[in-house]
Amino acid sequence: MQDSHFDVVIVGGGMVGAALACGLAQQQFRVAVIERAEPAAFEASQEPDIRISAIGASSVALLKQLAVWSRVQAMRCAPYRKLETWEWQSAHVTFDAASLGLPELGYMVENCVLQRALWEKMQEDGVTLLCPASLQELQPHNAGWQLALDNGSVITARLVVGADGANSRVRQLAGIGVHGWNYAQSCMLISVECEHDTGDATWQQFTPAGPRAFLPLFDRRASLVWYDAPARIRQLQSLPLSQLEKEVHANFPARVGRFQVSAAASFPLVRRHATRYVMPGLALVGDAAHTINPLAGQGVNLGYRDVDALINTLVEARSQAQLWSSLPVLQRYHRQRYTDNLLMQGGMDLFYFTFSNALPPLRFARNLGLIAAENAGMLKRKALRYALGL
């Protein structure tokens, strides 16, 4: 019975779910994680993952607290110290770490690196890893939940956490609805090897068709991000890499310099927000609760804010001899995170809709706004601190 009953079962062992598992295990909760596949071992010679996350300063702090960050650094990551954005060259906004007294704003980390580092830490922390496995059924059971897996196993938990992504099985089985829509753009990620060092600045140029962004990685590697109409992105995805390279040169700022494309992948942009994050003995975190326009790279950082808030909520309730898996306790987590995530989603949507409109008066107004932001002093620094979760 002990082998099949847990304090917390987390469905999804990706970047957010695994971080939550490490945090709870270190607080002496008995934790199991259900995951479809173990992340591959890291090889220093391997090509960079096409999937990159911009890990902000507060997320780095959480990973250090979990004793995971040193593992990431031992593999691969790249600091960024400046963030630039513009549409007109005369309306150029720059955020830099020095203005906040920080050594860096954050790091660019390949998703596979972060997933592997967290997986190894879960093993070290004694988390029960049910892998390969996936959730099939979820039923209330003795003031908790019973979970049936595709391998025939049945386990029970006082608390189930859905960390299983935008199409969360936990959310669906729990009957939690979502509000959302598809944006009128898709996104292409392009791995490149540049002729020169990529530096420590990430930048984004707004164009009438969608933003173009540059993310510096290790050595001379970088990731380019191309937002455009879905039909245009599908057309680009069908091109040979040599032809895609020509299209990038023709459509990205000249400051990219000379480069070679090594890989490319694309995905649609979707906004989702769960109608609630909690039920008795159940909570959602990360993309299972909310997906956001990736314009500012806030997705995984919002997930880590969820993780931090949920750990603190559960530990505090337990220390006060409260039923930590109860709805009144979990609602504290919901109240803390729902509004913050909604504000960040709204901010990104405002950027998206404002900069996706080609009307001349609006183009003039938004560039005036960028000029004002560049000269906003304390307000500019406050906005940066909020985006970094500080």
Helix (H, G, I), strand (E, B) or coil at 247: helix
What DSSP state is assigned to residue 295?
G
Mean pLDDT of the chain: 88
Q: In the prediction, which pLDDT does 380 show?
A: 45
State residue 270's pLDDT score: 84
pLDDT of residue 57: 87
Q: State the pLDDT confidence band at 198, using cuts at 50, 70 and 90.
A: very high
pLDDT in tens, 102-130: 888 899 999 999 999 999 999 999 999 99
What single-letter amino acid sits at 103?
P
- Mean pLDDT confidence for 47-65: 93
pLDDT reading at 348 higher than 70: no
- Tell me 47's DSSP state: P
Do 120 and 136 contact (CB within 8 A), yes or no? no
Structure confidence by residue, pLDDT tens digits, 219-277: 899 999 999 999 999 999 999 999 999 999 999 999 999 999 999 999 888 889 999 99
What does the pLDDT read at residue 358?
58
163 pLDDT more than 60: yes
- Reported as a pLDDT band with limits 50, 70 and 90, residue 357 is low
Check: CATH 3.30.70.1400 for 184-269? no
Q: Where are the alpha helices (DSSP H) in 182-319?
A: 230-237, 241-251, 299-319
Q: Is the pLDDT of residue 167 over 90?
A: yes
Asked if pLDDT for residue 366 goes beyond 70, the answer is no
Of 31, 327, 9, the residue nearest 160 (C-alpha): 9
305 has pLDDT over 80: yes
CA distance 216 to 161: 34
Determine the 3-state secondary structure of 108 from DSSP. strand
Lowest average pLDDT, out of 145-154, 179-188, 340-349, goes to 340-349
Q: Which pLDDT score, from 0 to 100, does residue 350 have?
A: 63
Inform me whether the pLDDT recorded for 92 exceeds 80.
no
Output the 3-class SS for 299-336.
HHHHHHHHHHHHHHHHHHHHHCCCCCCCHHHHHHHHHH
Q: How confident is the model at residue 375 (pLDDT cuts 50, 70, 90)?
A: low
User: Residue 268 corresponds to which tokens in the numbers above?
Assistant: 């649609």
- Can you tell me the mean pLDDT for 366-381? 53
Q: Does position 164 have pLDDT exceeding 70, yes or no?
A: yes
Q: Would you list the DSSP string of 6-32?
A: EEEEEE--SHHHHHHHHHHHHTT--EE
Higher pLDDT, 79 or 206: 79
Q: Could you tell me what percent of the chain has a pLDDT over 90?
A: 69
Strand (E) or helix (H) holding 361: helix 360-374
Share of the chain above pLDDT 70, in %: 85
Q: CA 116 to CA 121: how far, in whole Å?
A: 9
pLDDT at residue 371 tops 60:
no
Looking at per-residue pLDDT, the higher value among 282 and 377 belongs to 282
314 pLDDT more than 70: yes
Q: How high is the pLDDT of residue 292?
A: 79
Q: Which of 8, 20, 123, 14 is nearest to 63 (CA)?
A: 20
C-alpha distance from residue 82 to each of 60, 98, 102, 105, 263 (Å): 17, 9, 11, 7, 25
What mean pLDDT comes out for the span 134-159? 96
In this predicted structure, what is the pLDDT of residue 236?
Answer: 97
**Confidence check: pLDDT of 70 > 90:** yes
CATH 3.30.9.10 maps onto the chain at 184-269
Query: What pLDDT sits at residue 1?
Result: 40
Q: Which residues of the chain are in CATH 3.50.50.60 domains?
A: 5-80+107-180+271-356
CATH topology of domain 5-80+107-180+271-356: FAD/NAD(P)-binding domain (3.50.50)
**Bridge partners, residue 32, by sequence:** 9, 128
